[in-house]
Amino acid sequence: MQATARAHTNIALIKYWGKRDETRILPMNNSLSLTLDGFYTTTTVAFHEELTEDQFYLDDQLVEGAAYGKVTAFLDRIRQTAGRLDLSATVHSTNHVPTAAGFASSASGFAALAAASAKAIGLDVTDPELSMLTRHGSGSACRSIYGGFVEWEKGTQADGSDSYAVPIAPADHWDVRVAAVVLSSAEKKILSREGMKRTVDTSVYYPAWVESIPADLAAIKQGICDKDITKVGETAEANCLRMHATTLAAQPPFSYWHSTTMAVMEAVQDLRDSGVPAYFTIDAGPNVKVLYLPEQEETIREKLQAIPGVQDVTVSRPGPGLAYL
């Protein structure tokens, strides 16, 4: 009863921001992401009858506390689905994320855990079912089931049975690049879960965010289909700024940005002013991701690495979906 799976992380171009159901992890809006080749998690799960509790090793270190709690809670769901509450598991995960790449490993982590644990316990699940299971670990992780461009459909059912990811275009559809720009000042952030809740509950801009999504989705899908960096980039950047605007209008207001975050945003604007198509996006943290075309690689790297406060720039291409090893 053992299986190994590998999943890559993803960056949202249209953000998932806000839940309509916090228990079932059901989003208020559809989101759309690009899976990245540079960052992935490999996880082996082995279920045993003789084990009395789960064990979780991350990069060969035994994990306890909150991170362990999330893994066992997720495994409980898998055990319940399989009707095997008698089993406990050993979980070995390895994160292949270049030094402090500033990517949350939760997307690749939960996608790999879901796939490996479902297979190890003998669950025969379809991709949408696996995406729905993964969603309960971390919402954005449900998109990491697939490679390339992926949409998470929010669904309309109260039980969440139609809230899962669907592939939009495979990794080899279009060679765009994403530079992950890591900033040196790593302050403790407001977790995405908490930030979303406060925004949904209190931000006067939140309804406008939700209303703006269908137009963004239509534009970006057309842009992806046409391989139009301007359309994709402008739509993603505007969507990111609108998401972050909702946090400024929350009560109490908050922001994920640092001064260096803004310096990177300005550098991207400078690049565009000089004719280089480059666009930024930012998740629930200070680090910035920059979208561009392969021919601009050197220019982009040079410009970003020269910004004071930038610690590291790591480049990714579109990446693959789940693999079983």
Task: Tell whether the torsion through CA atoms of 90, 95, 99 and 101 is positive or negative.
Answer: negative
Write the interaction track for ligand PMV spanning residues 179-208; mark x where CB under 6 A is met and - where it is not: -------------xx---------------
Mark the segment that binds ligand PMV (CB under 6 A) among 125-133, 137-145, 204-212, 266-274: 137-145
- CA-atom Rg of the chain in angstroms: 19
State how far the Cα of 186 lies from the Cα of 183, in Å rounded to an integer.
Answer: 7
Mark the segment that binds ligand PMV (CB under 6 A) among 126-134, 135-143, 178-186, 206-214: 135-143
Residue with tokens 């080749």: 37
159 class by beta-carbon count within 10 Å (0-12 exposed, 13-18 middle, 19+ buried): exposed
Residue of 12, 89, 181, 322 interacting with ligand PMV (CB under 6 A):
12
Minimum distance from CB of 308 to ligand PMV (Å)? 26
Mark the segment that binds ligand PMV (CB under 6 A) among 47-55, 138-146, 213-221, 271-279: 138-146
Phi, psi values for residue 205, rounded to 5°: -90, -10
Residues of 185-212 as b/e, b for ≥16 C-beta within 10 angstroms?
eeeebbebeebbbbbbeebebbeebeeb
Find how far residue 48's CA is from the centre of its chain.
31
Closer Cβ to ligand PMV, 32 or 313, answer by number:
32
Q: Does 284 bind ligand PMV (CB under 6 A)?
A: yes
Mark the segment that binds ligand PMV (CB under 6 A) among 60-68, 124-132, 136-144, 178-186: 136-144
Q: Does 106 bind ligand PMV (CB under 6 A)?
A: yes
Mark the segment that binds ligand PMV (CB under 6 A) among 132-140, 211-219, 228-236, 265-273: 132-140
Question: Are the C-beta atoms of residues 155 and 139 closer than 8 Å to each other?
Answer: no
Q: Does 235 bind ligand PMV (CB under 6 A)?
A: no
Residue of 29, 31, 35, 239 interacting with ligand PMV (CB under 6 A):
31
Closer Cβ to ligand PMV, 37 or 84, answer by number:
37
Task: Tell whether the torsion through CA atoms of 312, 316, 322 and 325 is positive or negative.
Answer: negative
Q: Does 140 bind ligand PMV (CB under 6 A)?
A: yes
Closer Cβ to ligand PMV, 15 or 258, answer by number:
15
Q: Does 283 bind ligand PMV (CB under 6 A)?
A: yes
Which of 18, 182, 217 lies closest to 100, judged by CA?
182
State how far the Cα of 86 lies from the Cα of 69, in Å rounded to an integer.
Answer: 18
Q: Does 138 bind ligand PMV (CB under 6 A)?
A: yes
Q: Residue 262's CB: how many other CB atoms inside 10 A?
A: 12
Size of the site for ligand PMV (CB under 6 A): 13
State how far the Cα of 51 lies from the Cα of 33, in Å rounded to an integer.
Answer: 38
Where on the chain is the footprint of ligand PMV (CB under 6 A)?
12, 15-16, 31, 104, 106, 138-140, 192-193, 283-284
